[in-house]
A = this chain, B = another copy of it.
Amino acid sequence: MNKWMKIAYNEAVKSLNNMDGGPFGAVIVRNEEIIATGRNEVLLNNDPTAHAEVNAIRKASKILKRFDLKDCTLYTTCFPCPMCLGAIFWARIPIVYYGATEDDASHGGFDDKIFYEMIKKKNRYTILHQIDHKKNAKLFDKWNNLKNKKIY
């Protein structure tokens, strides 16, 4: 097993053994050094966003004191769910190595694959309703008018 993936794997086993969440682990590496590990803690913390990748990204950003992880590599035991893939995109992580697939996760009862289908088929719109468009859209004009704003 890849040496970094082995560390992600051990994180997943920890969550599994403690029943802290599903069997998911991750590690963020830079220059052959571990910056942060993460594991699923949804059940431990009653936090639906506490996935392995999100936890690892939050920790790494805190440690590096920047929201941009573009010089880092992420290893995760399973293909990232839409939430985690979004977090990876925002953190600008350029390379991700994953182990198991969405189908493997489905086999464990996890909805990653269903959520991807909901996004791709735009089924998501059944829960989403638009109101008060104009005033909210103008927030971005206010943003554009700010001087010295930082783009992320």
Contact = CB atoms under 8 A, between A and B. Distances in A.
A151 B108 CA distance: 9
7 contacts: A16-B139, A19-B149, A49-B87, A49-B90, A78-B136, A90-B115, A99-B135
Contact of A57 (B48, B91, B100): B48
Interface in A109-133: 109, 111, 115-116, 118-120, 124, 127-133
A83 B87 contact: yes
B67 A48 contact: yes
Interface residues of A, number: 88
Given A98-B129, A131-B97, A133-B99, A104 B140 contact: yes
Given A1-B132, A96-B129, A48 B104 contact: no
A46 interface: yes
Given A47-B62, A99-B133, A101-B133, A119 B120 contact: yes
A115 B128 contact: no
Given A104-B136, A150-B43, A48 B99 contact: no
B43 A67 contact: yes
A150 to B, nearest CB: 6
A148 B43 CA distance: 13
A77 to B, nearest CB: 5
